[in-house]
Amino acid sequence: MWRDSVIGIIKAYKIFVSPLFGPTCRFYPSCSSYALEALMVHGLRRGTLLSVKRILKCHPLHVGGYDPVP
């Protein structure tokens, strides 16, 4: 139930907010796509933890690149 709510919020972000900023993510897949996959594969608790860890890596000192969901 909660997982589906969080997935819905991320999907809404991808549709309504993300297009306003354009492709700015330094990672592939994008952080929002990563979060969706992490939640679907690992569930709410671990998926959220992986997503937060990924977002914390998003800063100018990190090179980015390909970073798949484990």
Q: Which pLDDT does position 1 carry in this prediction?
A: 79
pLDDT at 25 over 90: no
Digit-coded pLDDT (tens) for 36-56: 999 999 999 999 999 999 999
Locate the domains of the chain by residue range.
2-66
Q: Which pLDDT does position 69 carry in this prediction?
A: 96
Digit-coded pLDDT (tens) for 58-70: 888 988 899 999 9
- Enumerate long-range contacts of 3-6, CB under 8 Å, 24 or more apart: 3/39, 3/43, 3/44, 3/47, 6/39, 6/44, 6/48
